[in-house]
Structure formats: C-alpha cells, structure tokens
Structure 1
Amino acid sequence: MATTSSSPDRIATLDIVRGVAVMGILAMNIVAFAMPVGAYMNPMAYGSETSLDLAAYAFNFILIDGKMRGLFSFLFGASMLLVIEKAEAKGLNSASVHYRRMLVLLLFGAMHFYLIWFGDILFGYALIGMVAWFFRNMAPRKLIALGATLIFLQFLIMASFAYSAQGLSVAASQPGASADTVAAWKEMSLWVRVPSSVELAEQMGRALGPWTSLVHYQLTEHRWEPLIFSLTFGPETLGYMLFGMAALKSGFFAGSWDEQSYTRVAVRGFLIGIPIYLVIVSLIFLDGFSPVGLFWLAMVATVLVRPIMIVAVAALIIILTDQGGWLVERIAAAGRAAFTNYLGTSILMTGLFYGWGLGLFGELSRAELWLVVIAAWVVMLAWSKPWLERFEYGPLEWLWRSLSRGSLQPMRKPALPAVV
C-alpha cells in the first residue's frame, strides 16, 4: 500500500502524515495565538459566546487536541531514526550527525520561544531527541513496551500535579488563607480558569503591546519554561518518539501494510478512543469547566487513551491518501516543508493577532478562528509544492541542514535536460 514519492530517498507516507499533522497543530494552537492563555483549555475563559463556539471546543478536544502534537512527535521519532540510518549507510558518524541536528534544533526552539511565540515544542523535541538516540537499535516490540511504560509514567506525573492542584485549590478557598497560598493557586490555575479583569487587561496589553515587551516578558518571567516544559512532558514525548521509531521499523509509516491492517487499526482505535473522549468532554461540560475538573479530566484522564487515538488518526490518514491525487501531493509537500510551515505559521499568526502586526488578539470567537485556520492551510498547500519543485528543501529545512553540516547545502534543483 506504499505511496510513491517524487524523491527516491523519501518515504511519501511520512511526508503525507506529517503534512496533515503540521496543518492540524494550527487548528488547536490558533486559540493560544488569538486569545488569553486560559482559553486554550477552558472555553469559558474567553472567546465562547455561542453554542457553535462550544461545539468547536468539543470537536477540537475529541479529534485534534493532543492528537496532532502527538502525531508530530511520532513522526519526529521516525524521521530521526531515518536520518540516523541514512548516515550509517553512508559510513558517516551517525551520532555526530544526530547531535549536531539536535543542537541546531535546540537553538531554533529557543529563538522561537523567546522571540516569536511561547508555545514552542522544538526546544523539547531537541532535548528529548538527544535521549531517544540511545533506543535507536531496539526492536519494535521493545520500543512499544518502553513507550507504553513512559506514557504510564506521564499519567502518574499528571495525576500528582492534579492532586496537588486540588489540594491547593481547597487551601486557597479557606477563610483566612494566606496571601502566598492564594497567589500560588492563581499562578497554578492560570492556564485553566477564567482570568480576572485585571489579569485579562494585563494579557491583552502584553499581546497588543510592542514586540520588545513580549521578548522582555519571555526572557524575564518565563526564562526557564522551555526546560521545565521539556522535563514535565518528557516521558510522554519520548514515548511518542519511540512509538514513531517502532512504526517506521514495522513498516506502518512506510505505507507497506495492507489496507485491511490499516483499517483494523483505525476502526479499533476510534471505537476505543472516541467513546472515552466523549465521556470526558461530557464530564467537563457537566462540571462547568472548573479548574480542578479540567486538571483531572483534560490533563490526566486523556493521557492513557491519547496514543490509541493518535495511531488511529495516522492509520486513517494513510487509508484516505493511498490513491494519491493533486491534494495528496500538496499535503505531502507541506509535510516535506513542515519545519518551515510550523515556524512560518507562528510568524504569520503572531503578525495577525499581536500588536506588532494587525492586532486582532481577542477579536475573533473560537468558531470564527476556523476561518483563519482554513486560510492558513490554503497558504501551506499553495506555496509548498511549487517551491519544492524548484528547490531541494524548504527554506528553514535548508538552513537547519546547512547549520548542522557546517556548510551551505545545494538548494536549487538541477535543471532537467531538454527532451527532443
């Protein structure tokens, strides 16, 4: 069932799934670009005025939130292993090749976080990718077993976090609670609760202020956040990368399984995952989007079922794109230029919503943001294929490759000879 590729050294299925993943990531990140931080997990925090907005939240929660990021992590592990294997096949020092790539990616991630947008994932990918190197030679079954163990560890970490949050919430609500306790709860729950008018004004002012103020805020108030985030979600991220390596070794990401096998994976995954997610999102609505409820339901209850959904989504993508076509070719091109599309999207979205650009922060509802998402998808699909018909790599892929190798890499494709 493998799909052909325009380049003999690429696996087209990887590019296609990566293209869908980088497009899907924006569908969830758009809320964090366009609204105060609490709105990402709590629709009551901002931007939900109609039932359509709440439906958009539920749709994203069930099918997109965490699945596209997880799929991107799977693909990162698979692509990382592919680079290592190609380096070894050429007789190169694969460790040197790998760690130079990760160090350059670490630099890109830091620049992304401090200079462009707080939602960076590249810094963590680089750090965890350095650890994933040590598991490159494991058999698929062992990779899956170790990955599952890491996912369970992530579940325990998030459960411990939610338990602490619940205790702090109770302590902060008691009569005579200390100012430090109340402040600690406000800080801990900032990402999941409705902001106060003062907090909302601060966030709006910061987003709509000058770019230099945003950079200063990141460098002073959140200087350690990339490292903290990487450590907090490290087990899950590493587990996903190991799953991706196993998927490549088993032929799943190569598109070499038969259609019945992919269908079986997709159907079983969705039959397990979707009902559980429906129950979770229903409980969130019934609970009234309370901060403690969101900690337990959105951050803990989803950890163990999310990998099942990710694999099902990947299988469905492979099934639906098996026959190729003009749209699939453009999605594959977007996947080949995923690094450029990911960072380019951050620049485009912050330019659209932040004060240094058009300043639309807080202006659109959750449902209206889908219009922006679709427009950005059109841009990704429109530029990637024509560019890659003329050049070997996307712009930032070329820069990453050149910096990793310490020399400028050939960019433009050689002209094809004329046919008489």
Structure 2
Amino acid sequence: MTKPHPPSAGGGRISALDVIRGVAIMGTLGTNIWLFTNPDGPAGLFTPTENVEAFLRFLANGKFLALLTLMFGVGLELQYRSARRRGQRWPGWYLWRAALLFTEGLLHFVLIFEYDVLMSYAVTSMLVAYLVGRSDRAVRAWMIAMGSLHVVFIGLVTLALLGGRASPGPGGSTTLFTEGSYLDQVAARLDGAFGYRLEAIFVIPMSVVLFLLGSRLMRAGVFTGDLHGRRLRNRLMLFGFGLGVPLNLVTTFAGPGWFMVDRYILPPVVALGLLGLIPAVVHALRPDPGLLRRGLTNVGRTPLSCYVFQNLVAAILCYGWGFGLAATLDSARPWWVLGAWAGICLAFMVLASLWLRRFDRGPLELVWHWAYQAPQRKTRASARPAPESPVLR
C-alpha cells in the first residue's frame, strides 16, 4: 500500500462515500431479511436451505456487513482528519461519539433486533481511535495480530464443526416469532443476551482489521478519480472478485461445517472488491445523478436511521405481533423475501430523500448529534467568564 497522505487541509463531502454507505446499509438488510422472514426467527440462519435460497443468501451473506465495517473505518479516518485540522485533542470527544453509538446499539438490540452490530462497532472504534494516528508499521502490526487471532479462532471452530463436535448455531423450531408478543421477544433477547451478543464479541478482531484497512485505503486515495485511485480500485476488484467470490461460492454449498469461513473469512475479501467497484461505477457515471444514485446517496446520508428503522419495519411486517407475513408467506420462499427486501429498500430511498429536503440529517442522526453536542455546549458555557455585574461598575 502507498504511504498514507497526511490529513487533508480541506473538507468537502465525497459523494462516492454516501453511495457506498447506502449500498452497505441496504445490503446488510439483504442478509438480515432472511432472519426476519423465517418463521423460526434468527435461528433460521442455521437451518439447511434449498440451492436457490442458498445462492440468494450467498449474494449478501456477510459481504455488506464487512463493507459497512470498512466504511466505519473510513468515517473514523475522516473524524481523525477533522480533529487534526482543527487542532483538537484526539481521540478526545470521539470517545463520547463511541459511547453514544454503544447506547444506540444497546437500545436497538433490546427493542428491535438480536444481531445488532452497532455495539460491536462502538467497542471497536474506541480501540481503533488510539491506533489510527500511529505509524504504518504499528498499524500493520496490529492488523496482522488481530487478523491472525480472528483466523485462528474461526479455524478452530471450523475444525470442531467439521469433526461434528459442535453445531453452527441454535437451530430448532420456535413459535416466539410467529405467536409471541413484542414484549415476549424483548424478554427473550434479554434472557439470551450472552448468546445473541457472542457474535458481536468474537468479530471485534476482524472489525479492528477492517476499520484500520478502511482508514488506510482512504489515505491511499482509493476514492479519488485520478489514475492512482483507478489502479487501486482495480486491484481491490481483482482480489475481491477474482479470489473471494469463487472461494465463497464453494463454502456456501460445502455444508454447515464451513459456516464460519463462509460468513466471517471470505465475505470481507469480497467486500474489498465491492469497495473498489462502487466508486469506480460512480466515477464512470455522468455528474448529474439519476434517481437510483440519489436514493442510495440519501440512504448513505441517513445510515443510522435507515439501519434501525428498516429492521423495525421488517419486524413489523414479518413477526406475529405485526402483520405475521413470515408464517403466512412461508410457502412462497424465497421469492417473497426478495420482494420484501426490495420494497423496504425502495421505501427508505424515498423516505430518506423526502426527509433530507427539510433536514440536513436523518431523524436518529439529529437526536444523536444533539446528544453529542450537549456536554460540549455545557463545557463551553462553563468556560466563559461570568458577565460583570452592573452594580460593581
């Protein structure tokens, strides 16, 4: 990788980043939608599927989550540059951002979705915040160490799965998601918190690698429109699609013993190809964006709101306390699942576009920004000298 450029002296929004973020958010729903639409809920992730559904799951499984993780690393890099540009102490207030993200993730987990990723990202960002400004040598050492830890863990679990000494997940049938109330599901998430949060814990080493890689690729110029940026994107596409996709196809149909490799090793490789492909397409398009690009951009500008609310909408549509479509349309799998995913994505592209006509941030982003600014306003107010009393003049 090329030597990282110093933090830019200027700002300016990079449109390709919003598009990539929008694709990642909708692609993440492409993984989660199979859980919402399964009558067994999240346990359905581990049940055997027909070849058509297995292939459709392959298209999204883990790849867009890894892409989203890379984009969090890019976002952290931008925050680091902004702090350096303003002469602010780092990580400073960024740790408060991470704490708010953890709180948001905790609420999302308890109230909406078992497999929230925000809590894991918050913990990862607290660690990476202390690494992003280190030398290339130090960053490479951390990436190698964390990457090796992740690969060894996944390898050991895979050996256990192949040897029949473990199962990839809970499996089994349940009526919780077809007949249980909303409060029943909240209670189940609290009761099974350790099991549901286990993934968020063991992916932290992988997330550290992807955060740091996203940061370094941003510095290397992967999103620029010059020749260097094009060459770097071409290398990412060659690596991600030439190596990652064929191997990931093999593990998808190789049986449940390869579940961990199929979800946690190869998808990040494919995600690097996506990270090269999407900005390449954006740079190749005409400057005036069409409807699809504007929709993706607006989802990318409201990622927190779209991520949380699209999961809430999917739960309302699919679970028994809502419209109960998971049970009603189970015989129409996998095609109705594709329709549900496309409908939710279209709805949020429209809603995000309408919202941004009046506001500069999404609804949750506005609340989050207010909470982030609140202690800073209080600190600045307390630092101001008290006005002189007119009685003492």
Interval of TM-score (by shorter of Structure 1 and Structure 2): 0.7 to 0.9
2:343 is matched with which residue: 355, 359, 375?
A: 375
- The 2-side partners of 1:156 and 1:380 are apart by 39
The offset of 1:386, in angstroms, is 3.0
User: Structure 1 CA distance, aligned partners of 2:232 and 2:89?
Assistant: 36
In the alignment, is the contact (CA less than 8 A) between 1:207 and 1:214 conserved in 2?
A: no
Residues 140, 250 of structure 1: 8 Å contact kept: no
One-letter amino acid of the counterpart of residue 45, structure 2: Y
Partner of 1:229: 199
Asked whether 1:40 is paired with 2:45, we answer yes
2:303 to 323, 338, 349: 338
> In structure 2, what is the equivalent of residue 414 of structure 1?
none
Map Cα deviations across residues 193-217 of structure 1 (whole Å, 9 max, x no partner): 5x2xxxx1xx223443111111111
Pick from 188, 208, 232: which aligns with 1:217?
A: 188
Match of 2:53 among 30, 38, 56: 56
Aligned to 1:136: 132
Aligned-residue CA RMSD (Å): 2.6
1:146-177, CA deviations, whole angstroms, 9 ceiling, x for partnerless residues?
A: 3344223211112222334556x45xxxxxxx
Distance in 2 (CA, whole Å) between partners of 1:43 and 1:11 is: 42
Gaps of 5+ in 2: 1-10, 378-393
- Aligned equivalent of 1:88: 84
Q: Take 2:82 and 2:352, find their aligned partners in 1: how far apart are those partners?
A: 24
2:237 is matched with 266
1:369 offset after TM fit, Å? 0.2
- Alignment partner, residue 28 of structure 1: 31
Q: Does 1:298 align with 2:271?
A: no
- Per-residue CA deviation, residues 350-378 of structure 1 (Å, 9 max, x unaligned), is 11111221122233312320001111111
Alignment check: 8 A CA contact 2:25 2:307 kept:
yes
Deviations along 1:44-91, whole A, 9 cap, x unmatched? 3xxx5xxxxx22322431x32111000000001110221232133223
Q: Which residue of 2 aligns with 1:290?
A: none
Counterpart amino acid of residue 228 in structure 1: L
> Cα distance, 1:43 vs. partner?
3.5
Match of 1:9 in 2: 12
Question: Partner letter of residue 211 of structure 2?
Answer: M
2:252 to 281, 297, 311: 281
Q: Name which of 312, 323, 326 aligns with 2:273.
A: 312
Q: Name 2:222's counterpart in structure 1.
A: 252
Amino acid at match of 1:55: V
> How much has 1:39 moved relative to structure 2?
2.8
Percent identical pairs in the alignment equals 23
Quickly say closer, same or farther: Cα 1:306–1:255, change in 2 above 3 A.
farther
Matched, 1:115 2:118: no
CA contact (8 A) 1:151 1:304 kept: no
- Greater Cα offset, 75-84 or 339-348: 75-84
Match of 1:394 among 362, 367, 378: 362
**Conservation of the 8 A alpha-carbon contact between 2:35 and 2:45:** yes
Q: Residues of 2 paired with 1:156 and 1:247: CA distance?
A: 25
Mean Cα displacement is larger for which, 21-30 or 154-163?
A: 154-163
Unaligned 5+ segments in structure 1 are 1-7, 49-53, 171-184, 285-293, 410-420
| Aligned AA (1:97) | W
Once residues 228 and 260 of structure 1 are traced to their aligned partners in structure 2, the CA distance between those partners, rounded to angstroms, is 38
Residues matched between the structures, number: 358
Q: C-alpha deviations, 1:202-247, integer Å up to 9, x for none?
A: x223443111111111112x23346533321111111111111111
Deviations 1:27-53 (A, max 9, x none): 111011121234324443xxx5xxxxx
Aligned residues of 2:150 and 2:206 also touching (Cα < 8 A)? yes
Cα distance change on mapping 1:81 and 1:205 into 2, 3 Å: same
Residues 407 and 384 (structure 1), Cα distance of their counterparts in 2 relative to 1, 3 Å cut: farther
